Amino acid sequence: MKRLEDLPHFLIVGIKQGATQPNGYSDFALSGVFDKVEGVREERCWLLLPERDCLIGDLRGLDPEAKTAVFFIYSTSETKKPDVHGSKLPYLDGYWQAYHVWMVLEPEWIWKPLAFQSRDAVGRRFQADEVQVIDGQNVSEWIEVKDTAGRGNRRYYPVYPGRQAPFLIRPDSVIAAGWDHEHCELCRSHIESGERGYVDPSGHWVCEGCYAKYVSVHDLSFIGNLGN
């Protein structure tokens, strides 16, 4: 069982303001010390704040022996230093989103059991600026599939040369039943049409397995998996 207090925590001992952009946005460097560095790495990450708030930035200069590092916040809308000096903030790897912690820990987070049903999507074919090699083939054309549920979610599918396109796009750009699955927010497995899962009011889905293993018991153990 993993709780919020079990995550690595970053004690902020210094804040330095960097460059200010013409639009008024500023960069900040937060220096600090971790209580432990297991699972910490020099990449995009989050520092979690109270009230479902957070800071996103890049961790640099991690010293595993001294447990020190610098957390860089780039081009924030803040015009003054963040008021976090002396705070000890939970660290979350950038593989995850901050809301993944809140949706699991908070008892008041609303979940509804539901069977997912496919729905129409909006699609378009387009040429990419660069050719990518996928499965050993040069791919320059893609299909963008946009969810019609209003959340703006998009997926991209390659169009392989000499193969039939993965979707038939009607003249009105609609792909019949094109949004044919959802991903579990925690394990990334597919929730196919007709399969049951749990969905929150924002349209985030978790599979039945992750709901039972993590959400229902408020366990953050999924974080150590990094999606593997």
**Where in the sequence is the domain holding 187, given as residue range(s)?**
113-215
Encoded tokens for 180: 């044919």
Tokens of 162: 């000499």
Residue 69 inside a domain? The answer is yes
In a domain, 105, yes or no: no
Q: pLDDT digit string (tens) for 114-131?
A: 999 999 999 999 999 999
CB 105 within 8 A of CB 218: yes
pLDDT tens digits for 104-117? 999 999 999 999 99
228: in domain: no
User: Which of 38, 66, 94 is the C-terminal boundary of a domain?
Assistant: 94
70 in a structural domain: yes
Q: Which of 78-87, 120-129, 153-162 has the lowest mean pLDDT?
A: 78-87
Smallest CA-to-CA distance from 116 within 215, 218, 204 is with 204
Residue 103 lies in a domain: no
Question: What whole-number distance in Å separates Cα of residue 3 and Cα of residue 65?
Answer: 25
- Tell whether 62 is covered by a domain: yes
In degrees rounded to 5, what are phi and psi of residue 79?
Answer: -105, -5
Short-list 1, 67, 64, CA closest to 33? 67
For the chain, how many structural domains are there in total? 2
Looking up residue 90, the CATH number of its domain turns out to be 2.40.30.10
Q: Is the pLDDT of residue 134 over 90?
A: yes
